[in-house]
Amino acid sequence: MLDKRDAENVRSKSAGPPLDFQEHLARLDAAGLLRRIDRPVNKETELHPLLRWQFQGGLAEDDRRAFLFTHVIDSEGRRYDVPVAIGALAASARIYAVGMGRPVAEIGDAWMHAIANPIAPTEVTAAPCHEVVIKGDELRRPDGGLKTLPVPISTPGYDAAPYLTATLCITQDPETGVRNMGTYRAALKATDRLGVRMSARPGGAGGYLHWQKYRKLKKPMPVAIVVGCAPVVMFTGPQKLPIDCDEMAVAGGLAGAPIGVVKGVTVDLDVPADAELVFEGLIDPELLEPEGPFGESHGHVALEGYNMSMQLTAITRKRKPVYVSILSEVTPSESSVMKRVAYEPRYLAYLRDELSIKGVRRVVMHEPLTNLRKVMFVQFAPGVPRTEIWRALHGAASLQADIGKYVIAVSEDIDPENADAVFWSLAYRANPIDDVHIAPYRALGHGPKSGPAREDSTMLIDATQKEPDPPISLPKREYMERARKIWEELDLPALKPQSPWHGYSLGDWDAAWDVYASRAVSGQWEQTGKETLARRRGGLTPETPVKSVKD
């Protein structure tokens, strides 16, 4: 692991994205985004729960940090000589941005540019990932192979085994030779065996599609599972890129330079030369093995299911590697942040550029508990025709098979990240009989497998403002800002304003009422009373709007 001198050398190479995971850790450290934990921490009972408090303890996203555990033990008291990094890829959007080598605001454009302008990898001779090679008897000895590494338990009390979670699983189409890189969980089964779960649902894993072809050929599928490498390479795993797209080349596009790769020691697959660890092996083309339970990102524990059985043929690693884990399970999590910061701008670009829908401002995926895929908000500028709003809703629901069960359109004044504001918009701007459309025949997508198999459906809701409305009934901005200064002078608890926090016009307002309001705050409300006295009328029902009565 990096000492201080190494860290300083790495920081000097900080132009562009970091092309080595330990370089990335040094940049996080320099930015104040890394916490080093030197006390003993049990990888089986304490490590993941400790980091989970960052997400379940009410901290703002910007307060989350990457953690580096340097004194990792297990429940038997064994100490590991390999440190564990967790939260280092995407505990927050800021941490993800460090891995991308660019500000958060530029991440979406960077992804679109890289997809359009991939840079093919280049084969290199120097391969830090091959400094140590473990195979043969070393893999099979009782305390060898996978047991030599500090693989944590993600959901203590439910998970059936330690799991590789921060994975980049590399497979190759046996017919076309096209490479795929995906992020799939892998359970420790023996010192030389893993249980690998590659999603078989519609819109699921590219690796699973490769396995189907190997199954027809009746040949084992070669696979290389990378744990720890340049973040721009790791980030391609969770992205749903076209099936014939070479993610390693897209990673090169993100890096602005070819990714250095090297052939595996025992499998004919290219792996990142600077990887921390690589697990090489063969997946059985026919026999599946029970795998799980495991705490999943849809918020439930995934129960035991038959999944792929991988026989390890080698573990290769740096001489001083860092083991990388990610926090998944209930969202928000590191896993969901990693998807969110790339998925949202991709959906926005799709609606705005490919479907040419004008006035789309933002796409926001609901993250807490629902895990991004099920609930999505599309924000629109004023005046967008309703036909375009509905075209955007249908487009957002159909881009990806497992994303967009509920898609809700809101106006520009509604912050899609504030669920209370969205509910307010649903309550007052959507008439269910006119503004809700339900479409059948949607795949269930990512979710628990309990209960009978069935299809799902899609709900699209137009909760945008349809006509002028009265202002938001909060004090105008200037009064709220003045009151906040007094609040701070009184040293009252720190405020975290959520929109709306001040009143603003929504179109249904008369200039005369501005005069009334101005008089009220200056103590001249009696003048208004004299004027309204002169306007008294008979023959009306109480609550008749003044604007509906002609003078």
User: What would the pLDDT profile of 72-82 be if each residue is shown by its tens digit?
Assistant: 999 999 999 99
Which residue has tokens 């996080």?
28
* pLDDT of 349 above 60: yes
Rounded mean pLDDT of the chain? Answer: 90
* pLDDT of 206 above 90: no
Domain boundaries, the chain: 4-325, 355-462
pLDDT of 327: 87
CA–CA dist 31, 14 (Å, integer): 12
- What's the whole-number mean pLDDT along residues 461-472? 92
Q: First vs last Cα of the chain: how many Å apart? A: 82
- What's the whole-number mean pLDDT along residues 494-506? 88
DSSP letter for 355, please.
S
* pLDDT of 117 above 60: yes
Q: According to the CATH classification, is domain 4-325 in 3.30.1150.10?
A: no
With a pLDDT cut of 90, the percent of the chain lying above it is 69
| 111 backbone dihedrals φ, ψ, rounded to 5° | -65, -45
pLDDT of 335: 85
pLDDT of 449: 64
Which residue has tokens 């009265």?
470
pLDDT of 370: 86
User: What is the C-alpha radius of gyration for the chain, rounded to an integer number of angstroms?
Assistant: 28
pLDDT of 192: 97
CA–CA dist 304, 308 (Å, integer): 12
pLDDT of 162: 92
Q: Which of 324, 328, 326 is nearest to 295 (CA)?
A: 328
pLDDT band, very low/low/confident/very high, at 203 (cuts 50, 70, 90): low
User: What would the pLDDT profile of 391-413 be if each residue is shown by its tens digit?
Assistant: 999 999 998 888 899 999 999 99
Architecture of the domain delimited by 355-462: 3-Layer(aba) Sandwich (3.40)
pLDDT band, very low/low/confident/very high, at 4 (cuts 50, 70, 90): very low
pLDDT of 10: 41
pLDDT of 12: 37
- What's the whole-number mean pLDDT along residues 274-297? 92
pLDDT of 2: 46
**Which tokens hold the place of 475?**
């004090």
Prediction pTM value:
0.85
pLDDT band, very low/low/confident/very high, at 293 (cuts 50, 70, 90): confident
* pLDDT of 242 above 90: no
Order of all β-strands in the sheet with 436-442: 360-365, 375-380, 406-411, 456-462, 436-442
- What's the whole-number mean pLDDT along residues 269-283? 97
* pLDDT of 11 above 80: no
Domains 4-325 and 355-462 share a fold: no
pLDDT higher for 533 or 330?
533
- What's the whole-number mean pLDDT along residues 474-490? 91
pLDDT of 472: 86
pLDDT of 244: 77
